[in-house]
Structures are given as structure tokens and as C-alpha cells.
Amino acid sequence: MRPHLLLLGLVCFLSACGFHLRGLDESRPLPFATLYVQAPVTGVGEVLQRQLSLRPDLQLVPATSAEAVLTVMDESIQKQILTVNTSGRVVEYQLVYRANFKLEQGGSEWIKPTELILRRDYSFDESNLLGKAAEEKALLRDMHIDAVQQIIRRLAALKPQPAPATLIPGK
């Protein structure tokens, strides 16, 4: 069998089973067209602003003209010792990232305050401090991206809320 036919068959098989690369899923539209993001300028806030600004179905606007307000209330990073060797030196650390967010629309909470918790383990070698510091930064950056993707998936899973009914006097 020719290699290019095998490759073509594999691609057709993967596309038929619904496989797609991980990343922004723009096939699921958000239930609002405008959004205000209230988040820290660094960390998850920076990644969230960038990811949401890339969506063609969403416009980031000031709070006064937004249909919904996404608030990242706080985020924290903890570094915990995971394992030590027989001489008492640290061998592995665990990074624990927590982010709290909520979504409001028209003064009511659409998503109640929710906490995301992400954990990553990494080995530590005190003879390679610079390399391990760079690895820790890369893990934190990946954790921010993962948290933002989880938030966006939760936003896309929401059903549009009906507009509040207006009362017409005399009817």
C-alpha cells in the first residue's frame, strides 16, 4: 500500500470520528455578543483578554455597554513540596493554581462564583536551578492557558437567557 494512501485514510478516519485539535472551539458560539472582562492585568487576565479578543463572535466592550460581565475575583499560586529524598532534599514540587470567577448579566449571576483548581507536578534538581525556574514559569503559563480554556468552555455551554419582559401600561 502506498504511504500517501495510508495517510489519507488516517486523516479521513480521524475527521469522521470527530477528532479536532485542542484550542479555541469557535463552533460553539457564546450566548452574548458583547462582554466586559474584569480581571488582573497579569496571569489569567492577560490570557483571557487575548483569547476572547480572538473570537469573531464576541466583542470586548466597556462595562456600561456589555451584555455580560466576566469577573476574575482572585487567583493564587501555591508551591508545595511533593517528595523528598532520604537526605531530606526536595525531589518534586507541586504547583497548585486557583482562580475564582463569576459571570453576571443584567445584575443577576449567570455563573455563580466558581473556583478552578489546577495542579502540576515537576521534579526539582538543585544543580539546575535556572532550568527548573524556567520550567516552573512554563508550567504556570500553561496553567493560565488551561484555566482560560475551561472558562471559555463554560461560557460556551451557557444557554441564552431571555430578555426581561417589559410591562406595557394599560395592558
With a CB cutoff of 8 Å and minimum separation 6, the contacts of 37 are 45, 48, 49, 52, 60, 70, 72
Range of the domain at 114: 21-156
Q: What would the pLDDT profile of 145-165 be if each residue is shown by its tens digit?
A: 999 999 999 999 988 765 555
Give a yes or no: residue 8 inside a domain: no
Instruction: Judge whether 170 lies within some domain.
Output: no
Higher pLDDT, 159 or 166: 159
Which pLDDT score is estimated for 12? 64
In a domain, 12, yes or no: no
pLDDT at position 24 is 47
Residue 5 lies in a domain: no
pTM of the model as a whole? 0.76
Whether residue 10 lies inside any domain: the answer is no
pLDDT in tens, 4-60: 766 667 666 666 666 555 554 556 788 899 999 999 888 899 999 999 999 999 999
Q: In total, how many domains does the chain have?
A: 1
In this structure, the strands spanning 68-84 and 34-38 are parallel
